[in-house]
Chains A and B, each alone.
Chain A
Amino acid sequence: MELNAISIGFVVFSIFTLGGGFGVVTTRNLFQGTIWLMVSLFGVAGYFILLSAPFLAAVQILVYIGAIAILIIFAVMLTRSVARIKERYIRILPSFIASLALFLILLLGVTIPIFGAHSPESIPEYVASTRNLGTALVDENGFVVPFLLASVLLTAAMIGAIFIARDENA
């Protein structure tokens, strides 16, 4: 791999993503764990930039850091003993086997062309713009049906949440 801006960026964002993930599982402090999670998600947003998908990068930051992580922080702040978690996780061996298996599957999926070609040459020269993404989402030949289905699902989830949270007496 030659040393250029993209490879340096890849290394930096990998450090963010993996280091953040490591921080999440090792810290004894729930609040710091959430901050580490944000660091990890930020690294993923960096990958999207490297892949010429700035829209997805912005959405990653907006949705995952701006909304979901903030919500997690809010929930964490409402719990007791945020700072010193006493409980230890004991099922280390099953977790180790599961994560190793997942890693191997991903490694095989990336290196061996099971799901189609994965050589660097197969990446097209043409890079789709945000405009193409928008058009594809509402195009009949594109992804309009999955897009609408996802919208309906989210709306249903929102209505469900409001229904559950609603005060019966109000």
Chain B
Amino acid sequence: MEELCTGLCSVLAESGADAGLALFLSLLVGVLLVSGVPLITVILLIWIERKVAARIQDRIGPNRVGPVGLLQTIADMIKLLSKEDITPTAADRVLYNAAPLVSFASVVLIWAVIPFTPFHYGVDLEIGALYFVAIASFGTLAIMAAGWASNNKYALLGAFRVVALLVSYEVPLVFALLLPVMLAGSMSLLDIVNAQTGMWFIVLSPLAFVIFYISSQAETGRAPFDLIEAESELVAGFNIEYSGMKFGMFFAAEFLHVFTNGIIMAILFFGGWLGPLYYESPLIAFAWLGAKGGLIYLTTLWLRNTVPRLRIDQIMAFNWKFLVPLSIANLIAVSFALKLLQELGWAPRDLLSASFGELLPTTVILLIINGAMILYLLGVLRERGREARRESHDPRAAIANVGAAAD
């Protein structure tokens, strides 16, 4: 109990509070702070997302409420909160009302393990990376429960697609996640960041990053993987019966999930808070993490607003016939190469304390292996593209296909 009681807790205990109460209060403040960060962030994120989408589509976006429309989300929230709270008569009341909460909680809970700076994190779990995957599975559950409890055929169809999409893309996601874990020799996100002091993992395994990026885009259910809520096919998808703040929670969960994935990718592959002068002040470290995560987040917005939706069979074929074999091959190739280099003495045994110089030969060799795999893949993709074009050599059929796939 004593070793847990540091910082605010010790201050409270010294000022005469009961030891247990002091610990409870300090933990409560910590929990509120860590869960407060994503709750505040999401309000800004919605504004950013709408602005970016507007600029890509050559519009201005929200610009009426507050300076450059910054308060638009607040106004929307007030609107959503003041709307009538409707539960359909045929719906399963408990599940229907619990689903938005579970959906939002599953994203906020991820923030518990995110290390903001070397000293500021909710909790440093020994199984941090696994925790991230385990918590994400609650999101799947929430969407299925929402789709079923709504008692609406379009909602149910949307929920069916969730199983197909989210569960399938979890496989390459986990395989890609294994690489940073393996390189760092630890599942703790804090250790994974510290292990990148010598070299960021994006340089050691760029292919794993690409796989992780694609699968996490699919996990959030966004274009080109947005068939969970394909407006043109399912009216709205799993959330069709939801209105008011219950709809708002699904909405906020999705927006937050995208940004959370950006932060997770920054931690796993881009060295988290590592950057010039990060040791000077925790604020600089925090700014580095935010900048890296934000940049990745912006690229996902760019992708979302650029590409059309894929058909369900295309998405499944891409995952099971391309992404999953690729992620397994990548894992085997990199782990084999790393072990070989360690046996030869060219790579350090423990990356946690390895410097840039010690890691240089490993980096070069791993980069060559990754480059060779990427070149081969590009060849395979080009061949498949040619085949697809040959199949639809009738130009009118091709145009019809493009029209069907677009939003």
Contact = CB atoms under 8 A, between A and B. Distances in A.
B152 to A, nearest CB: 13
Interface stretch (A55-63, A102-110, A114-122): A55-63
Contacts of A130: 126-127, 187
B172 to A, nearest CB: 15
B167 A67 contact: yes
A65 B126 contact: no
Interface residues of A, number: 21
Contacts of A32: 92, 95
A55 B140 CA distance: 21
B39 interface: no
Contact of A58 (B95, B130, B159): B130
A31 interface: yes
Nearest to B129: A58
Contact of A70 (B92, B133, B135, B140): B140
Nearest to A55: B127
- Among A54, A55, A66, A130, the most chain B Cβ lie within 10 Å of the Cβ of A66
A62 B131 CA distance: 9
Contact of A35 (B134, B135, B145, B187): B145
B127 A61 contact: no
B247 interface: no
Contacts of B163: 70, 73-74
A116 to B, nearest CB: 28
Contacts of A54: 125-127, 131
Contacts of B140: 66, 70
**Taking chain B's interface residues, is the majority helix, strand, or loop, or is none over half, making it mixed?**
helix
A59 B127 CA distance: 10
Interface in B381-396: none
Nearest to B188: A130
A58 B144 CA distance: 21
Given A54-B127, A55-B126, A74-B163, A62 B133 contact: yes
B97 interface: no
Contacts of A35: 95, 145
B23 to A, nearest CB: 9
A7 interface: no
A62 B127 contact: no
B160 interface: yes
Contacts of A67: 137, 167
Contact of A129 (B126, B133, B135, B160): B126
Contacts of B159: 77
Nearest first, the 8 A-B pairs at minimum CB distance are: A66-B137, A61-B134, A58-B130, A62-B134, A58-B134, A54-B127, A58-B127, A74-B163
22 contacts: A29-B92, A31-B92, A31-B148, A32-B92, A58-B130, A61-B134, A61-B137, A62-B133, A62-B137, A65-B137, A66-B134, A66-B137, A66-B138, A66-B141, A67-B167, A69-B141, A70-B141, A70-B144, A74-B160, A77-B160, A129-B126, A130-B126
Interface of B: 92, 95, 125-127, 130-131, 133-138, 140-141, 144-145, 148, 156, 159-160, 163, 167, 170, 187
Given A31-B95, A58-B127, 19 more contacts: A29-B92, A54-B125, A54-B126, A54-B127, A55-B130, A58-B130, A58-B133, A62-B130, A62-B134, A66-B170, A69-B141, A70-B140, A70-B144, A73-B144, A73-B148, A77-B160, A129-B126, A130-B126, A130-B187
